[in-house]
């Protein structure tokens, strides 16, 4: 683990909510010169920032229904796990696949245009996956992402 001081934490916090901020603007906000801020950001990018992502407005792009599926495999063993994973990775509507411990084996996040589009995905893609047993579906109604433990540094920033 690398050592991070409070300025690093503030940079991470700022970048977590606005990933496209430039070093100059962030530096001004925190009282650093542009080159100093830039060097710090590069160091963070090397060690703790694994990537930046673009948030798209799914609804405006025509993807109105997000469903989470809990999947229990019918048969287990190394082969069926990797067969299942290989097949499920290639489905474009599957945005996230998490291997979990508990009531289910996998948690999938599926994006679809509407309910009939979701039905198509479920029937043609999901139910035909190798080794699928029990499937539970929950339709996403609302979602908020929090900054997580970094948010604790918010007070310092204000």
From the CB of 151, what's the least distance to other proteins, in Å? 5
Residue 100 binds other proteins, judged by CB under 8 A: yes
Sign, CA torsion 119/123/129/135: positive
- Of 38 and 117, which has the nearer Cβ to other proteins? 117
Comparison of 14 and 25: residue with beta carbon closer to other proteins: 14
Task: Please list every residue from 8 through 37 that binds other proteins, using CB under 8 A.
Answer: none
Q: How does 77-95 read in b/e, with b if 16+ C-beta sit within 10 Å?
A: eeebbebbeebbeebebbe
SS3 51: coil
From residue 42 to residue 71, what is the string marking binding to other proteins with x (rule CB under 8 A)? ------x----x--x-x--x-x----x-x-
Q: 124 vs 24, 45, 127, 148, CA distance in Å?
A: 50, 40, 7, 37
DSSP conformational letter for 69: E
Binding part of the chain for other proteins, among 19-27, 34-42, 71-79, 134-142 by CB under 8 A, reads: 134-142
Q: Is 36 exposed, middle or buried (0-12, 13-18, 19+ CB in 10 A)?
A: middle
Nearer to other proteins, 20 or 31 (CB): 20
Give the up-direction half-sphere exposure of residue 116: CA atoms within 13 A in the CB hemisphere.
Answer: 0
134 counts as binding other proteins under rule CB under 8 A: no
- The position carrying tokens 């579906």 is 137
Out of 3, 18, 31, 92, the only residue in the binding site for other proteins (CB under 8 A) is 92
Q: Contact positions toward other proteins, by CB under 8 A?
A: 1, 48, 53, 56, 58, 61, 63, 68, 70, 85, 88-89, 92-104, 106-107, 109, 111, 136-149, 151-152
């Amino acid at each position: 683990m690398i050592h991070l001081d409070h300025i690093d934490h503030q940079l991470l916090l700022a970048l977590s909510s606005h990933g496209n901020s430039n070093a100059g603007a962030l530096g001004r906000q925190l009282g650093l010169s542009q080159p100093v801020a830039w060097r710090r950001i590069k160091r963070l990018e090397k060690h703790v920032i694994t990537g930046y992502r673009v948030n798209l407005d799914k609804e405006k792009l025509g993807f109105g229904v997000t469903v989470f599926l809990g999947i229990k495999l019918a048969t287990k063993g190394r082969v069926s796990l990797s067969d299942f994973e290989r097949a499920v990775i290639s489905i474009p509507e599957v945005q996230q696949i998490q291997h979990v411990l508990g009531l289910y084996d996998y948690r999938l996040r599926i994006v679809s245009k509407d309910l009939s589009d979701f039905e198509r995905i479920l029937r043609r893609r999901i139910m035909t996956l190798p080794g699928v047993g029990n499937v539970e579906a929950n339709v996403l109604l609302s979602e908020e992402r929090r900054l997580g433990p970094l948010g604790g540094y918010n007070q310092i920033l204000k």
